Structure 1
Amino acid sequence: MAHSNKSDEKIVYVGDSRIRARTSRLPQPDFSAYPGKSEVFIPNFLLKEWMVAVVVLVGIWTLVISEPAPLGYPADPTNTQFIPMPDWYFLFLYQLLKYPYASNDFVVLGTVIVPGIMFGALALAPFLDTGKERRFYRRPIASSLMILTLIACTYLTVVSWSHYQHELESKNIIPEHIKREEEMHASKAEGGGGGAAKKPAGAPAIVAADDPGAEIYKKATCVTCHGTDLKGIPSSGIPALRGVGDEHDAASILGIIKNGQGTMEPQYDENIKKGLTDADITKLSEWLGMQKSQ
């Protein structure tokens, strides 16, 4: 570029003769010796894979933003009705550990050896299967192993989820995240803002804590589920016994102990086995009948 101090002077750019202009494209590699391969990996194939990955990632982000994560109640180690479940992509391993040959004395087989072989084979596949053929029907061994693994994982996942649903129905349990979401919707409908589920009102105090029936309660099977504080686990369908006298009298409570109610099985024989007498159980029902909110 050449110019002088004149402001109205026309600027003229002069090409550099040292730079050679390319007039033809680079020759494309010959892939005729590699069946099923027709383009270079970098950048052609990698660019297409990257674009597909971006589309999938945007789809996942959309689902994450549109659907909030399900949240249950704070962890409660005393909740014996809670059924722990892993994320869906680990359900097949969760189901595998239920079988006798992958649990108990063989737990190392189910937790270390079998997953190690599966994921190890997946990592070593590119080094073990080095053939030039890329069509799956021309690779019977690799394709058969892949199809067999997919069938096994799908079967274990479906069976695991079916067992979980059956267990919920048999125990009449509503999953915590569903119950909490219902409580949040109910709170919104009542004008509570819906920021979180309403906290339960304070439980009534224990009546006649020094009564002989209180000592019998500590030895009975009731304490296993309802707790020493009689608060139960409402989130799991185990009601509190504080205030139970408002709904049931001593005779009714004795009938529940002998015959059961809902998901609660009869507890009379179990208490007798623990060393309680018929008179103790009667006194226990009378003490529970005294538990009133007022």
Structure 2
Amino acid sequence: MKQAIAAGIVRWTGVGALFRNLFARRNVTIVVYHDPDPEVMRAHLAWYTERYSFTTLDAVADALESGRWGDLPPYPLVVTFDDGHRNNARLEPLFKEFGVRPTIYLCSRVVGTARPYWWKTAAAARIGAETLKRLPDPERRRQLAEAGDDPDRDGADRQSLTWDEVRHLAAVTDYGAHTRTHPILLQCDDQRCAEEIALCKTELEEATGLPCRHFAFPNGDFSDREVAIIRQAGYRTARTIDPGWNGPKADPLRLHAVPISDDASVDWLSVQVTGIPAWLRKRKGDGVTPAPTPTHGDPLPAA
């Protein structure tokens, strides 16, 4: 009900168009998905096509590095997917149909296996995934192990893309790193944090034969430490889930983005893409996900 009311307000007041013209005309919008169904994604891509121009993270990085921001199309929009869910492969025909080249962020120790994402295990369900996100990483892993989880054991159903699918999709997508195992990086010690960030890049490049230039922070959590490691590892960009747009002075290792619900109706999409729902949740202290997050940059205004 609240979503319907909010969508109605945005539609009838013209707030969505106002935000798009004020913030998105010459600034980059980055949208974040995880595991949407093809039917939902088709509707979303059709909606974007009427209002935005698709571009890529490499094009954004080129514009930031060269200073030629005008090389980007008007209303530039980048589509991204976190985690590398197996159903992302079903979206390939849509990427071709709509001429969009998204970035899929992969966890290098999960992709190509039947290992479940740790927050989707039975052990995590018993303890509570959000509770686990708040724990120091060694304690999180200890509690999962005590509850019966083996991170190297295959699950009953594969959740991630296979390496063959990854290599096949490379014709229509770019790949980025999302760490090896998707820990909350702020909960990791220095060594584990560096390994999760740097070795993910190495492992993805070895498996695909392609350069891995982009990174996304698991759960959106990061600090200056993570940014320094990402820079040293040689990534061109790092994407947060801090709501907002990206202008010609944006920090490429702290790119703002707008989370979109995988099951969002087109009306609710029109609300979410303004960044207002994510911004309000962050201002309330909830973050986009319930795990605690520090303040990263300014919300809403373009960098």
- TM normalised by structure 2 equals 0.20
Using CA pairs below 8 Å that are at least 6 residues apart, which structure has the higher relative contact order? 2
- TM normalised by structure 1 equals 0.20
Pick the structure with greater CA Rg. Answer: 1
**Higher helix fraction (1 or 2):** 1
**Higher strand fraction (1 or 2):** 2
